[in-house]
Chains A and B, each alone.
Chain A
Amino acid sequence: MAQLDSRIPPGPLADKWRNHLASMRLVNPANKRKYEVIVVGAGLAGASAAATLAELGYRVKSFVFHDSPRRAHSIAAQGGINAAKNFQNDGDSVHRLFYDTVKGGDYRSREANVQQLAEVSVNIIDQCVALGVPFAREYGGLLANRSFGGAQVSRTFYARGQTGQQLLLGAYSSLSRMIGSGGVQLFTQSEMLDLVVVDGHAKGIIVRDLVTGAITRHAADAVILATGGYGNVFNLSTYARGSNATAIWRAYRRGACFANPCYTQIHPTCIPVTGDYQSKLTLMSESLRNDGRIWVPKKAEDRRKAPGSIPEADRDYYLERMYPAFGNLCPRDIASRAAKRVCDEGRGVGESGLGVYLDFAEAIGRLGENAVRERYGNLFDIYHEITNENAYHVPMRIFPAVHYTMGGLWVDYNLMSNVPGLFVLGEANFSDHGANRLGASALMQGLADGYFVIPNTIGDYLAGQKPSARPSTDSAEFRQAEDNVRGITSRLLGIKGREPVSHFHKRLGHILWQYCGMARNKAGLEKALQEIPALREEFWSNVLVPGSGDTLNQSLERAGRVADFLELGELLCRDALVREESCGGHFREEHEYPDGEGKRDDVNMAHVAAWEFQGDGKVPLRNVEPLAYEFVKMSVRNYK
């Protein structure tokens, strides 16, 4: 049974972080250079952490599987980043951001962590501006804001539709500076394939060089994972193709608890699948729902007709019908589920029947085509680029897609997992978003973790570690871990079955999407829990991985990741099955109000489920961290 001590500092909420800063142990400046820290991942969380730790004087090794740190998936984030600056004078405050995030997360996040996040959010914007991030500005030269879902204030900072890119380039520039000055040693195209735990502490990693195939051992005084989310377990998602769960999954297999794996976010406005070859789903900004009206035909037999030929009377503007107050602007999870429902009824549009119309005809009539072009021109262009359809004339077709994973490795208030010395930042951990993440909060969390939390909290751990006690990479633990990695690689190459890796990934995706997607139920999850192990077995006996292990071998890379997804997918379903309630992105059909809104069970389910690996073929242990809400009152979300 894992020890889950959340280490929440005592005292009033607003003072927790400040008090904690004042009471943590410190490492003397001259001693810092004696410590080595491994940072895996250089997205927003990893790059900011690696750069900042190096600035402090620690010796940092940074590992990414990409060919450059700048390619991390954070680059793709579009909308913006939240911060409680109250530059709009509209009543925002640290407390309000904290409250909105807790509520948005459907009361399944840890209060103290969210408060810490809200408090440092203020510094993030200062830091990014100083780094030269070209945020949108007003004519007076000061920062502009936009509003985002789940908040009644304008606190989102943005850089056109490329906020993630600009923030990442900011963090990457700091990282580059520290690489240039020798503070950080960078390892690109280097995939972490195992965690080394010595005497219960994380003390190193095993890495495979994706170009040469060389497998190397790296020892450190602490290991930080900032390896992003695991949404690609569904195969099709808005994630980059390379995003994967391998780092956190292998850490899980070494004893780190995996918290709330079933909390996944599904975004309602993505471009639908066109065929079996599809590799990726593209997000269309949520802002489109401000002026677009969502509908499907009332009669299933109309679904193949040209949309223009369907008279008003035969259209079902279902969101406006079901949620008259919020209409097309209801929250992501609700809009996604409604789309699924009408498609399940056979009324979905497009080739596959998995799509709904997002229609701008009314807006064009009201505002004129030019005004619509001005607001959404670039999104219409993207849509045209991908579908070859002109959305000014025919309605867009959209469908929900997997977009974010709230679950991740369990961490305490210091962002340390239950394995001492193993820290987890960004989307890879579970800490801040509960069962649902609000828009523009993931970027905030990544940078908060990397720039402001870990540089302070890691010292508290390292102060208790003697640098001279860093284990040698010749120790038995390192050897065993390396053998493990070599074993997996040669096993994958040795199967020489008859089915390419991509097929297994697709099949896993189908199972998860079907049974553990937007709406879940007991029977489906139980079915998935039978199908996934069977698929995994088939994978290990019939996968075909061509080529060798000592050159660039993209099939081998993917095989390793899919192998992990095949295990993680099972855990996801298991977690979803046990969580007998609906909350945020996790919707159990057995637990809904008559109006379709999810029904939480605050009596039995107000806790974090932290799964602990027990060995292959064994059911993992479900540890529980109760969520004590001291400062906010749990209530029912209502968007009618």
Chain B
Amino acid sequence: MKNISVTLRVWRQAGPGQPGRFVDYPARDLNPAMSFLEMLDVVNDELTLKGEEPIAFAHDCREGICGTCSLVINGKPHGPRQGVASCQTYVRSFEDGQVITVEPYRLRPFPVVKDLVTDRSAFDKIQQAGGFITVRAGSAPNANAIPVPKDDAELAMDAAQCIGCGACAAACKNASAMLFVAARVSHLGLMPQGQAERDRRVLAMVQTADGLGFGSCTNQYECSAACPKLISHDFIARLNRDFIKASFKAAFRSEPNRVVGD
């Protein structure tokens, strides 16, 4: 394949809450085997040498597992290919002479920090609300004490693959965090170890996501289509069911006797 040249139309924004704008940058003579992020590296070195500020973008592992990279390329989170992260997008997916827009995620709960970098700490807060099984180190029973049917473990693993990149919420026209929440709730809800806190978990995580300002789900499944791990929206159905069940159970179960003042 021959080397190509493209124009990058990049969102530049100096800081949180500041006005931003698109700026065009030429990227010339690119080896098709180069990754999209490596192309940005090269453009950044050129900018640096010209005395301009390089484009800030988030990245770390560059192999699609850490969930740091988060570009919206031509309107789609993580670019044109399905089932890959921005860092696994290669120059060969583009054509010579193409104008490529590169934007940050745009949703209220993920405010822009600078240029293409957004603040996704909202996802951490959702996890803190209930995305765990309470086990103190040292108190765990023997690992093989509870068998887990293979298919349940595999399905849980399908959900657990989530890399927390936020593409689902970015792709959703409602900025909903449903796929993210669903993946975590389903993963833990499918494991026998996760049953004790199952209801409490789903209620807390959904309410926290709502409170952080994520939107609701309209079942259009843009999330799973944008997900670099192609996590299925079946898990959203599971989340809905778990939430509704937990709401009904919470309404009808009898309350344990609590010590006054507890």
Question: In their complex, do chains A and B touch, with some C-beta pair under 8 Å?
Answer: yes
Q: Contact flags (1/0) for A27-66 with B, using CB distance below 8 Å?
A: 0000000000000000000001001100100000000001
Contact B140 A129 (CB under 8 A): yes
Indicate if A490 sits at the interface (CB-CB under 8 A).
no
Contacts A75-B61, A127-B140 given; indicate if A274 touches B15 (C-beta within 8 A): no
Q: Which of A125, A130, A140 contacts B135 (CB 8 A)?
A: A130
Question: Closest residue to B194 on the A side, CB-wise?
Answer: A132
Contacts A162-B161, A173-B133 given; indicate if A137 touches B65 (C-beta within 8 A): no
Indicate if A275 sits at the interface (CB-CB under 8 A).
yes
Contacts A129-B193, A546-B52 given; indicate if A279 touches B37 (C-beta within 8 A): yes
Q: Which of A51, A137, A160, A165 contacts B150 (CB 8 A)?
A: A137
Indicate if A375 sits at the interface (CB-CB under 8 A).
no
Contacts A68-B164, A130-B141, A165-B65 given; indicate if A274 touches B54 (C-beta within 8 A): no
Q: How far is the CA of A310 from the CA of B142 in the complex (A)?
A: 55
Q: How far is the CA of A1 from the CA of B236 in the complex (A)?
A: 61
Indicate if A596 sits at the interface (CB-CB under 8 A).
no
Contact A159 B63 (CB under 8 A): no
Contact A547 B62 (CB under 8 A): no
B44 CB contacts on chain A under 8 angstroms: 500
Contacts A76-B65, A500-B48 given; indicate if A132 touches B193 (C-beta within 8 A): yes
Indicate if B23 sits at the interface (CB-CB under 8 A).
no
Indicate if B233 sits at the interface (CB-CB under 8 A).
no
A541 CB contacts on chain B under 8 angstroms: none
8 A Cβ contacts from A77-135 to B: 85, 87, 123, 125-132, 134-135
Q: How far is the CA of A75 from the CA of B142 in the complex (A)?
A: 25
Indicate if B88 sits at the interface (CB-CB under 8 A).
yes
Interface segment, A383-391, A458-466, A475-483? A383-391
Q: How far is the CA of A455 from the CA of B143 in the complex (A)?
A: 21
Give the Cβ gap from A89 to chain B, nearest Cβ, in Å.
Answer: 12
Contact A555 B140 (CB under 8 A): no
Question: Closest residue to A451 on the B side, CB-wise?
Answer: B137
Question: Closest residue to A87 on the B side, CB-wise?
Answer: B144
Q: Which of A55, A71, A141 contacts B149 (CB 8 A)?
A: A141
Chain B interface residues toward A at CB < 8 A: 1, 14-15, 31-35, 37-39, 41-42, 44-45, 47-49, 51-54, 56, 58-63, 65-68, 84, 88, 90, 92, 113-114, 117, 119-121, 123-124, 127-129, 131-144, 146-150, 153-154, 156-157, 160-161, 163-164, 187-188, 190-191, 193-194
Q: How far is the CA of A385 from the CA of B146 in the complex (A)?
A: 39
Q: Which of A71, A130, A242, A547 contacts B67 (CB 8 A)?
A: A71
Nearest 9 pairs between A and B by C-beta?
Answer: A141-B147, A180-B128, A173-B132, A130-B140, A126-B140, A280-B62, A134-B157, A129-B143, A134-B156
> In terms of DSSP, what is the predominant structure of the interface of chain B?
loop
Contacts A277-B34, A387-B33 given; indicate if A48 touches B137 (C-beta within 8 A): yes
Indicate if A211 sits at the interface (CB-CB under 8 A).
yes
Contacts A137-B148, A387-B33 given; indicate if A71 touches B66 (C-beta within 8 A): yes
Question: Closest residue to A67 on the B side, CB-wise?
Answer: B120
Q: How far is the CA of A141 from the CA of B191 in the complex (A)?
A: 11
Question: Closest residue to A130 on the B side, CB-wise?
Answer: B140
Q: How far is the CA of A73 from the CA of B59 in the complex (A)?
A: 12
Give the Cβ gap from B117 to chain A, nearest Cβ, in Å.
Answer: 6
Contact A502 B45 (CB under 8 A): yes
Question: Closest residue to A188 on the B side, CB-wise?
Answer: B121
Contacts A386-B90, A388-B90, A547-B53 given; indicate if A176 touches B124 (C-beta within 8 A): yes
Given A388-B92, A546-B54, 5 extra CB contacts under 8 A: A76-B65, A132-B133, A132-B156, A277-B42, A552-B114
8 A Cβ contacts from A230-266 to B: 240-242
Contacts A126-B140, A240-B61, A242-B60 given; indicate if A134 touches B49 (C-beta within 8 A): no
Question: Closest residue to A162 on the B side, CB-wise?
Answer: B161
Question: Closest residue to B70 on the A side, CB-wise?
Answer: A67
A179 CB contacts on chain B under 8 angstroms: 124, 128
Q: How many residues of A contact B (CB 8 A)?
A: 78
A413 CB contacts on chain B under 8 angstroms: none
Give the Cβ gap from A288 to chain B, nearest Cβ, in Å.
Answer: 16
Q: Contact flags (1/0) for A130-162 with B, using CB distance below 8 Å?
A: 111011111111110000000000000001101
A452 CB contacts on chain B under 8 angstroms: 137-138
Contact B160 A134 (CB under 8 A): yes
Contact A138 B150 (CB under 8 A): yes
Contact B133 A130 (CB under 8 A): yes
Indicate if A282 sits at the interface (CB-CB under 8 A).
yes
Q: How far is the CA of A552 from the CA of B151 in the complex (A)?
A: 45
Give the Cβ gap from B91 to chain A, nearest Cβ, in Å.
Answer: 10
Contact B143 A125 (CB under 8 A): yes
Question: Closest residue to B30 on the A side, CB-wise?
Answer: A277
Contact A177 B134 (CB under 8 A): yes
Indicate if A551 sits at the interface (CB-CB under 8 A).
yes
Contact A274 B133 (CB under 8 A): no
A71 CB contacts on chain B under 8 angstroms: 60-61, 66-68, 164
Contact B191 A134 (CB under 8 A): yes
Contacts A71-B68, A132-B193, A173-B127 given; indicate if A544 touches B137 (C-beta within 8 A): no
A282 CB contacts on chain B under 8 angstroms: 63
Give the Cβ gap from A211 to chain B, nearest Cβ, in Å.
Answer: 6
Give the one of A128, A143, A554 with max B CB within 10 A: A554
Q: How far is the CA of A495 from the CA of B63 in the complex (A)?
A: 34
Contacts A552-B113, A554-B54 given; indicate if A274 touches B33 (C-beta within 8 A): yes
Contact A554 B56 (CB under 8 A): yes
Q: Which of B53, B58, B142 contacts A126 (CB 8 A)?
A: B142
Contacts A141-B148, A143-B143 given; indicate if A135 touches B153 (C-beta within 8 A): yes
